[in-house]
Amino acid sequence: MLFELSGENPTLPVAELECVGEITDQRAQVAVVMCHDPSTIHRLAMTHVVLEYLGECNPDIGSFKELLKSLSINTDQTFAGRVKKVHTGNNRLVQRCSQLDFEKIMGTSINGPVSLNNPEVQYRAILSEDRCYFGKVLFFIDRQIYNSRNPGKRIFFHPGVMMPRMARTLVNISLAKKGDLLLDPFCGTGGLLIEAGMLGINTIGCDFDPMMINGCQINAHDASLLIADTMNLPFKNNSIDAIVTDFPYGQSVCIKKTDTMDSLYDESIAQICRVIKSGKRTVIVTHTDIRKIAARHMTVLQYHEQRVHKSLTRRILVLIK
């Protein structure tokens, strides 16, 4: 399958695709994936369009004509051809391409009735870097549903919480699936637990602040919640399938037995390593780069950055035991 991705982050949209299959090829804002279970695709948060992969070629008119000729597409349904040009800094090949010319080629090379205003089928060419990917649109992912779950609309709200689309992306990157047990040891208002629960994942949330646990119970009412010190987690060894959490960002947070944030990170990751199952993923968000601390306990698989505003860039670590 072919995925047209969001451009809001250079690495997170591709990383998220691992929850639906094996990535076999990628360029900026596009990826080809061998999907093991296509029914899981609707869980994605940073994908715009999902297509049936039909082929690829060099991003020029001649190569595209040859591709369509070899495909010999016939359809009784009305169709339209659309082109997405992904602009990157040194993408001179794509910059020289005429979007209108590519769309005209589709109109003349595909055998069927054209309808530009209300087509039953849409064929789409995605021009990115040195490739042109071509596919048949299966569906568009409605990303507005995440806006409808804006944290400001929750009964219990706290400033600085993560937006639902990012929370869903992090749950997806953890590779947690329906029926798994996911833990958020710094659950706060429950945003990560809400998104995981909507996917049929069993959720547990911990926080050292009773006010947060009480508020989280209102927001994430299907989650199991408890007041707990993350540096002494009350769970058995190798008992959790996935961990996703947003670590505290400052000394004003309610923490215990530590004078520095580094010691909080170090002891918390040690506990996370103890309770997570072998081979399973932990996704940690911080405001600073703690790869050296994390590497003392677990293997660092991925590192991502997301700029929130001028004074805050989230650092996202994907760890495996």
pLDDT digits (tens, 9 = 90+) for 128-170: 998 999 999 999 998 889 988 988 888 888 877 899 999 999 9
pLDDT at site 251: 46
212 inside domain: yes
Q: Domain of 38: which CATH number?
A: 3.30.2130.30
Same structural domain, 305 and 191: yes
SS3 sequence, the chain? CEEEECCCCCCHHHHHHHHCEEEEEEECCEEEEEECCHHHHHHCCCEEEEEEEEEEECCCHHHHHHHHHHHCCECCCCEEEEEEEECCCCCHHHHHCCHHHHHHHHHHHCECCECCCCCCEEEEEEEECCEEEEEEEEEECCCHHHHCCCHHHCCCCCCCCCCHHHHHHHHHHCCCCCCCEEEECCCCCCHHHHHHHCCCCEEEEEECCHHHHHHHHHHCCCCEEEECCHHHCCCCCCCECEEEEECCCCCCCCCCCCCCHHHHHHHHHHHHHHHECCCCEEEEEECCCCHHHHCCCCEEEEEEEEEEECCEEEEEEEEEC
145 inside domain: no
Same structural domain, 125 and 179: no
pLDDT at site 258: 47
pLDDT band at 62 (very low <50, low <70, confident <90, very high): very high
Domain-ending residue, one of 140, 166, 188: 140
The tens digit of pLDDT for each residue in 75-95 reads 999 999 999 999 765 666 666
Is residue 126 scored above 50 in pLDDT? Answer: yes
Query: Considering its fold, how many domains does the chain have in total?
Result: 2
Q: Domain of 263: which CATH number?
A: 3.40.50.150
Calculate the alpha carbon distances from 229 to 211, 217, 233, 236, 296 in Å. 14, 18, 6, 15, 21
Of 2-16, 134-148, 149-163, 180-194, the one with minimum mean pLDDT is 149-163
Domain-ending residue, one of 119, 140, 161: 140
292 inside domain: yes
Same structural domain, 132 and 159: no
Question: Which residue range forms the structural domain that includes residue 257?
Answer: 150-320
Same structural domain, 59 and 95: yes
Same structural domain, 206 and 246: yes
Is residue 224 scored above 80 in pLDDT? Answer: yes
Domain-ending residue, one of 140, 164, 197: 140
Same structural domain, 109 and 174: no
Same structural domain, 173 and 239: yes
Query: Does residue 186 contact residue 246 with C-beta atoms inside 8 Å?
Result: yes
Same structural domain, 313 and 197: yes
pLDDT at site 109: 96
Query: Does residue 231 contact residue 267 with C-beta atoms inside 8 Å?
Result: yes
The tens digit of pLDDT for each residue in 227-275 reads 999 999 999 999 999 999 999 875 444 555 545 888 999 999 999 999 9
86 inside domain: yes
Same structural domain, 182 and 237: yes
Is residue 282 scored above 80 in pLDDT? Answer: yes
Same structural domain, 161 and 30: no
Same structural domain, 156 and 116: no
Report the pLDDT averaged over residues 176-181. 97
220 inside domain: yes
Of 22-26, 185-189, 246-250, 306-310, the one with minimum mean pLDDT is 246-250
